[in-house]
Structure 1
Amino acid sequence: MKNEMPKIPNSNHKLLKKGTKLVLSAATFGVVAAGSFQGVNYVVDNYNKQNTTVQSTNVLKTSSSTTSNVSAVAQNCMPSIVSITNVSVSDVQNYFSMYGNNSRSNPFTQQENTSVGSGVIINKKNGEIDILTNYHVIENAKTLTCTLADNTNVEATVKGVDENRDLAVISIKTKDLSEDTLKQIAIATIGDSDKLQVGEQVVAIGNALGYGQSVTTGIVSATNRSVSTSSDTDKSQSYIQTDAAINPGNSGGALLNMSGELIGINSAKLSDTDVEGMGYAIAISDVKDSIDTMLQGKDVSTSCNTPSSSYYQQNDEDHESDSVFPFDFWN
């Protein structure tokens, strides 16, 4: 295999050699009917819900048993992980409009698309619960639905994005959740990814293939692994490389140390017939400033003072029709 730097493509670029791709791990499914998600019943008044305490995950003291360690991390941290469903609308070529009486009609027709990913609860404040995920998980969303630990579905809104680092913060309202649901979820404990050692065991949790939360484990294969994040090779980002299985749908999910602390956001994997166990996660310590900005309801850009809503107003019509999902879905 060639020793050139792999790239995360904005479209279907070939990588390393024919068939090798760095896949942003969100799973894309077909068209779904609108209204497939049920609303959440209101159980208590909004004031009580805003003041309900959401627990935090615990910092664990692990035993000598690897199996029991992973099980303890999973049990402790899964309440902080959510599944995210993105319903978007894209323009697709209407070939029938090119012929006969339809030749002057609109050459494009709209198609509804659904993709799934993961997210991590990182904050609760002012009646909102904030969830960290990848930007490519929520990009171009018409609606976003989060499925919580107790299988409650609730609509989410975008709070802030950092497109260059492939990160986003979305939020849900505590008033839309029952008292029981608020007791079932948890806020992730943020760790220090700068302290990671190569060979250290880690756990990945996410919505693999859209089946619901699943747990995989592996080791830190490398730290500070520089990977180009676009077709522009001058733009690169540092990742944690792991051999824990990172599959479509895992994007935005948690990479955890054996103390149950969030040390990375799972984002991509290298896919090739000759490649095994090369997954990539964004190191949490590298993006703390970005997260703080997004939690304030701002986008991260050259000017960090642009409210997140203006980003979508300015760019909603600028995306090319084939960029709704700027990643490959690798089966």
Structure 2
Amino acid sequence: MPTLARRSFTLALMGGLAAPLLLRAHPLRAQTDAVADLRRAALDLPQLHAILVQRGDEVILAEAPRGRGLDRAANIKSCSKSLLALLLGTAIARGEVPSLSARLGDVAPDLIPADATQGVADLTMNDLVTLRGGLQGTSGGNYGAWVSSPNWVAYALRQPRIAPNGGRMIYSTGTTHVLGAALVTATGTTLRDLARERLGAPLGIDIPDWTRDPQGFHFGGNEMALTPQAMLSVALLMRDNGRYGDAQVIAPDWVTASRQVQTRSPFSGLGYGLGWFLSDTGWIIARGYGGQVIAAHPDRGLALAITSDPTQPARSEGYFGALMRLIDGPVLALA
């Protein structure tokens, strides 16, 4: 992808050069107006730090009115969960994890404390990646006590059961942290090295080191950092069925499975597949606290990345709702 300047945007004009000017004027004006409308709508959002939108092979909007700009890493918060899901896909494709139905008790039995909640050994990789672990969540009001504990994995697996394994969606970073630790156990390498080898290298992006728990496991589902341009590369990967450039980075069947709704968020109502939110309008979305977004619309050939103020909430009825109106409105209007 070409280097993008801070606070600049590029419009790709379409239409045959040989066509008479009068025949081309109105379509071109409409496209120019659509990008201008998107730019105005995006810059009117005070929490927004950066936005990149690509249609086909052309980046048509690249703006960073606030924050760290387009080429400096920002904390992507829970967008990390969606990248973790891609790493699970690579482990299954390589036979390091037998399948989505593999049990935690078989993949990583040593992670399970002696006083774990009954049934956690039977949790499948599918239960973990779809946030259907059945245990009380460690996010929201429970987050501080969890990350202050001496063993994050054990703490998550001791939480009281509030639903059956594979039942309703319970948003919990503890669940994805257990998944990350299971991946480390199964592959014999760190989550950071997995991310760099299987996503960073093929996408040509840098994935800096990030937070580890007291046992040395990298945070599975939070605190990763990427530049907005790197986030856009991930969005393109999902848009293009796991391909990036000439490389098939993620198996196509994993991307297809990721787009199948398995549960729904009790907060936003969005569907949820293998670590990715799914909108009824065709978007596949990674969502992080504060309004961090990686999104792709395969049917419309669109990919986007948004970073926002990571210290402010982005509730479904608030700022995240405004972001959804942006991508369902002005962004989709570009296709």
Bin the TM-score by the shorter chain.
under 0.3
For CA contacts below 8 A with separation 6 or more, give which structure has more relative contact order. Answer: 1
TM-score relative to the length of structure 1: 0.27
Q: Please state which structure has a larger fraction of its residues in strand.
A: 1
TM-score relative to the length of structure 2: 0.26
